[in-house]
A and B are shown apart, each in its own frame.
Chain A
Amino acid sequence: MKLKKVLGAGLVIAASAFLLAACGSNSSSSSSSSASNSKTFTRMEGDTIQTMDPSTNTDAISGQALIDTMDGFYRYNGKKLQPAIATSVAEPTNDGKTYTIKLRKDAKWANGDPVTAKDFVYGWRRTVDPKTASQYAYLYNQVENAQDIQSGKKSPDTLGIKALDDHTVEITLSEAVPYFNGLMTNPAFFPQNQKFVEKMGKKYGTSAKYALSNGPFILKGWTGTNNSWTESKNKDYWNAKAVKLNAVKVQVVKDPSTSLNLYQSGKLNDAILSGENAQQMKNDPAFTPRKQSSVFFVEMNQKTIPAFKNEKIRQAISMSINRKELVNKVLGNGSLAADNVTPQGLMDDPTTGKDFAKEAASKDSQYTTYNPKKAKQLFKEGLQEVGAKNVNVTLLGDDTDNAKKMNEYLQSTWQDNLPGLKVTLQNVPFKTRLTRSQNGQFDMVVSAWGADYPDPISFLDLFTTDNSYNNGKWSNSQYDQLVQDSKTTDVLNKEKRWDDLMQAQNIITEQQGVVPLYQRVEAHLVNKKVKNLQYSPANNYNFVTTYIKN
């Protein structure tokens, strides 16, 4: 009898579930109006916010939320650097080492406090303080005393930043940094309200209620672990008049077909596509490729495989890869074939306005253009020069689906086009790959690098002889000198610095010090009604001027 009751109860539960489901369809259709609400912009992220503490933030998603809710000295609007809390974009003095920045007087924190010079001083010292354990503290390396503070030799008070008065900040660098104004748009350089931070203690930045806004939007609904949040317009923002959106609603979506379904049913104004979906929607008018400042490339370890010291062998490896086929057929996610290790969209020529990577490619693209015949010949000559008959290598790579597909493609294209080269694959988890790369435990490895600031030096610096990130140990003295000149003698001369970097880029491409593969592109579908959606070279949106047209 009891059993009968249990079964009966089960049936009732199941039936009521379906009844509720039927009622639910109404509520779901009513909430679909949210995406078409003309003042609410709905978008997605691939993961949730990890922290709202500008000092400890490392990921792009939290970075975007910080940029939406906080103002630093400046803010990128598209490629243009505009003053935010600063009254103008500062011109450095003292050979590029001193920045005196005037602050606007009408900027306020959401708790009513004015944003002052002291907030910047406090925020900067807190980020560099080793106790904060900021993973981005190295961005401060050129600020006076920053490295000594991080290693505990000096107190955070000695950092090269001073409040001259409530609305004037003076920054002292140990060397001139031409991209420093742009670098300061990174949330690690944002001001922080000491009173609030100290009151929150360890909880600071761990959920919306423990974060403090001074920017165009205020974060709401982020509990610290959940998958959706809203950024509501901050009525007390100094530039509130310019902000047209009432809210930006963000939903974490991890599955590619779910994001497409949500976009097509009007629940998202902006969806990120991946893999096949990106390929499939390529001709949709709403398709918007967003170039990311990150490049994937192959490093060849000259310590374990001496044959990689030979320039012809490295060139052959590069020229035997059909990059267009790789990005279109193998990856199929809208990525861009890379001609250089420096990605497109980082920096423009100060005289002609032409993109750095494109200009570099116009001079040396033959080294990254698919040419199996030439590659075969170069490889043969290279082997003769090093006195070897064949080369056996292991290609180390990530164990994600995309990485595996790419590594298999590389293996087959190399073995087909370069007789005498045998490639074994080793796909490992990301952290294992990193550790082995850093310890030099590899023959060839597929690496990736993303720019921390929009300047080619972010990439070119990696491959100087003594740089600890130069895992393959490629070395060229002329290259080293050019990179050095761009940071010292030519640092203040835009044209000369451009030439140094361009020449360095040409050297590493010609010699294939590393073999560039592709530049990451994030494929989006953006509703055509969304206007003025600006995307910065640091790969962030600026929603201040965005609006939705009816």
Chain B
Amino acid sequence: MPRGFSRRDVLKGSGALALGFGSTRVVSAAPPASAVTPELIAAARKEGKIVYYTSIDLPLAEKIAKSFEAKYPGIAVRVERTGAERVFQRIGQEYASRIHAVDVVNSSDAAHFIVWKRDGLLAAYVPEDVAQHYPGDHKNDDGLYASFRIGLSVIGCNTDLVKPEDRPKSFADLLNPKWKGKIVKAHPSYSGTIMTATYQLARDLGWPYLEKLAQQNVMQVQSASDPPKKLALGERAVQADGNEYNLFQLREAGQPVEPLYASEGTPLAIGPNGLFKNAPNPNAARLFQSYCFTAECQQLVIDVGGLRSMHPLTKEKAGHRPLKDIKTLKDDAEGVEKHGEEIRARYTKVFKV
């Protein structure tokens, strides 16, 4: 199937971020915005800790935790980091046994929030920043969650191993025989970003693309954070998918890596934050959720993390191509929710793991 990818007119514009938040309801059921009050801080301090399940890269998650602890001394953040799909499985498993350990959750697979909402697990809480600043399609109508981070799953390369003129410019380029045995790729059964990205690629480029990619002897890793690290180690020359933000972090630390933006469009993964009704530390959870959406924390996510933010008061970092200039694939959390299991099964068949 020579270049059978652009069957769909993938993306019309860069601003096409009609995300999985679009519920058809007109009237918002969200509670009024909550400010951070001294009472909330005092109550949170009494609880003394908050447990944050997240799939964000570990050092970044710990940085966010440390900055929160610095701002609100006396409240310790415990980060539980694992791949989004495993975060989801873990919470499901724990809740089935009535273990309510998680306060706030962040997942790079927005489809999870659809399930948690359907199961009635999430608490409605709207931080002031979300109410005031966030665009409508980046906050849930019922006030259950909002877009904490915007990530891209990019192709990328090790600049020592790949000459500038040889860099792949599209997903199609990755099928070139010269990349055989030189590609690293993360797995949709572990990573929410990759789950989202696989859905978008299967939708827009079709499974035949992935089947051909599987013939390239790709090195299969789990987390979307890992391919950039494998590039930095020099273990593989090119990544077929993986976090753009890790590439930024590594590049800024002096590693020879570079994100590349495929001409077909780059998969987009929204990572919302939400808090649970049965949170063991409800006040600390609220305080933490509010903090996560402040311009201060969002700027940290951009500057330290290399991620993208929907907070209009934040600035894109110099040297990072602005989001609006990147051609992205359309995010569709409902679609991922509906087809997730099928994608996992088919992926396992195609890639043998």
* Co-assembled chains A and B: no
Taking Cβ atoms with an 8 Å cutoff, the residues of B that contact A are none
Taking Cβ atoms with an 8 Å cutoff, the residues of A that contact B are none
